[in-house]
Amino acid sequence: MKCVRDGARNAEAEEKSIGAKGKNIKDIVKSVRAGTRCVKDEERSISAEAKSIRDGARSKEDWAKSDSDEKECGKDE
């Protein structure tokens, strides 16, 4: 009977171990998902920065064009 009880204890211990491993895997998956979200957020941030830089460049081009238009207007007079 002792052998059977020991076997049952071992089986319970193994079951708990497997359950703990499953929990660890779930935690790892959650961590990876959170990391993926962080990467996506960072990509959005970089994308927004790039758009802002492009908009700034367009704005400078518009200013330069505006200045050259004013200079040309002054030449006509």
More confident residue, 1 or 8: 8
- Region 30-48: what's the mean pLDDT? 86
Query: Does residue 75 register a pLDDT over 70?
Result: no
What's the rounded Cα separation, in Å, for the pair 41 and 35?
A: 10
**C-alpha separations of 57 from 28, 43, 47, 71 in Å:** 43, 21, 15, 21
- Please tell me whether the overall predicted TM-score, pTM, comes out greater than 0.75 for this model: no
Q: What angle do CA 45, 51, 36 make, to 5 degrees?
A: 25
More confident residue, 3 or 25: 25
The pLDDT of residue 70 is 62
Where does the pLDDT of residue 71 fall: very low under 50, low under 70, confident under 90, or very high at 90 and above? low
**C-alpha separations of 11 from 18, 31, 45 in Å:** 10, 30, 50
